Amino acid sequence: MSTSIDNPHFLLRRVHSLLGLIPVGAFLIFHLWENSQSRLGAEHYNEQVVAALKGMNYLPLLEIFVIALPLLFHAGYGLVISAQMRSELLRYRYPRNHLYWMQRISGIGILFFLLLHVGMTRIQGFWDPAVAEDLYTHMQALLSQPWLLGVYVVGLLLSVFHFANGLSSMAIAWGVTTSVRAQRLFGGFCVLFGLLLAALGLHGLMGFLR
C-alpha cells in the first residue's frame, strides 16, 4: 500500500512549508528585530547585538543547520513549485490569484536579494575582517548608496510579504483555517502581521542611514 511515507511528494511539500515558518520565518523576525537595533547606534549594534551573537557557542553549526540549509531547501523546492505555475493574472482578476502569483515571484525575488545581501555581508566578512569588525559602518556605507538602499527596501518588502502571505496559505495547507470566514479572518491577521514586520524592518534600515 502506498502511504504518504513511501511517496515523498507530500512530506517534501510539508517540510518546505514548515521550514518557511520555522526556522526561516522565525529567523526573519529575529533578524529584523536584531537589525532594528541599529537605531540605538553603532556601538550598541556592534557590541550588544552582533558581538553577542558572535559569542554564541556552535554559531557556525547554527548558521548552517538553522539558517543556510533550511533556506536553501525552502528556496530550492520553492523553485520547483514555482515551475508549476501557469498564472493568468488578467483573466482571473481575483485578489487571491494575484497573491498566489506574488508568492512565487517574491520567492524568486528574495532569492536574488539574498545572493546579493548575504554576499555583501556574511560572505564578504570571510575575507574582509573589517566588515565583520564593524558591521554597522559597513551597512551604513552600503545603504548610503541609493540604488542599494532601493534593493534593500524591495528585498525587505518582498520577504515580509512572502512570509505574511505564506502564513495565510500555510494555514489552509495544514488545515488550520478551513471555512471561508476563518480564511478571511486569518488573512486579515496576516496583513496586520506583515505591516508590523515591514515597519520593524524599515525602522531598522533607517537606523543605518544616520
Partner 1 sequence: MTEQSIHLRVRRQDRPDSPSYWQEFKLPGHPDHNVVSLLMALREHPVTTTGERVDPVVWDHNCMEEVCGSCAMLINGVPRPSCSALVASLTQPIRLEPLPKFPVVRDLLVDRTRIDEGLKQVKAWVRIDGLWDIHEGAPRIGPNEWAANYLYSRCMSCGCCMAACPQFGPHSDFLGPAPLAQVRLMNAHPTGRYDARERLHAIMGDGGLSDCGQAQNCVRVCPKEIPLTTAIGELGRQTTVQMFKDLFGPS
Residues at the site binding ligand HEM, with contacts judged by CB under 6 A:
17, 20-21, 24-25, 28, 31-32, 35, 63, 67, 74-75, 78-79, 81-82, 103-104, 107-108, 110-111, 114, 117-118, 121-122, 125, 135, 139, 152, 155-156, 159, 162-163, 166-167, 169-170, 173, 201, 204-205
Shortest Cβ 79–partner 1 spacing (Å): 14
Dihedral angle at the C-alpha atoms of 28, 34, 35, 37, nearest 10 degrees?
A: 150
* CB within 8 Å of 173: residues ≥ 6 apart: 14, 17
* CB within 8 Å of 185: residues ≥ 6 apart: 177
- Could you tell which of ligand HEM, partner 1, none binds residue 122, using a CB distance below 5 to 8 A set by kind? ligand HEM
79 lies in the binding site for partner 1 (CB under 8 A): no
96 lies in the binding site for partner 1 (CB under 8 A): yes
- Could you tell which of partner 1, ligand HEM, none binds residue 135, using a CB distance below 5 to 8 A set by kind? ligand HEM
- Could you tell which of ligand HEM, partner 1, none binds residue 87, using a CB distance below 5 to 8 A set by kind? partner 1
Question: Which parts of 150-209 interact with partner 1 (CB under 8 A)?
Answer: 169, 172-180, 182-183
* CB within 8 Å of 59: residues ≥ 6 apart: 53
**At 139, which amino acid appears?**
M
- In DSSP notation, 195-209 reads HHHHHHHHHHHHHTT
Distance from C-alpha of 107 to C-alpha of 163, rounded to nearest angstrom = 9
Choose, by CB under 8 A, the member of 88, 129, 146, 147 that binds partner 1: 88
Q: What does the block give as the cell for 101?
A: 502569483
Contact indicator for 152, 205 with CB cutoff of 8 Å: yes
Choose, by CB under 8 A, the member of 58, 60, 84, 147 that binds partner 1: 84
Contact indicator for 42, 133 with CB cutoff of 8 Å: no
Q: What does the block give as the cell for 46?
A: 556592534
Which residues bind to partner 1, rule: CB under 8 A? Answer: 1-5, 7, 9-11, 13-14, 81, 84-88, 91-92, 94, 96-97, 100-101, 103-104, 169, 172-180, 182-183
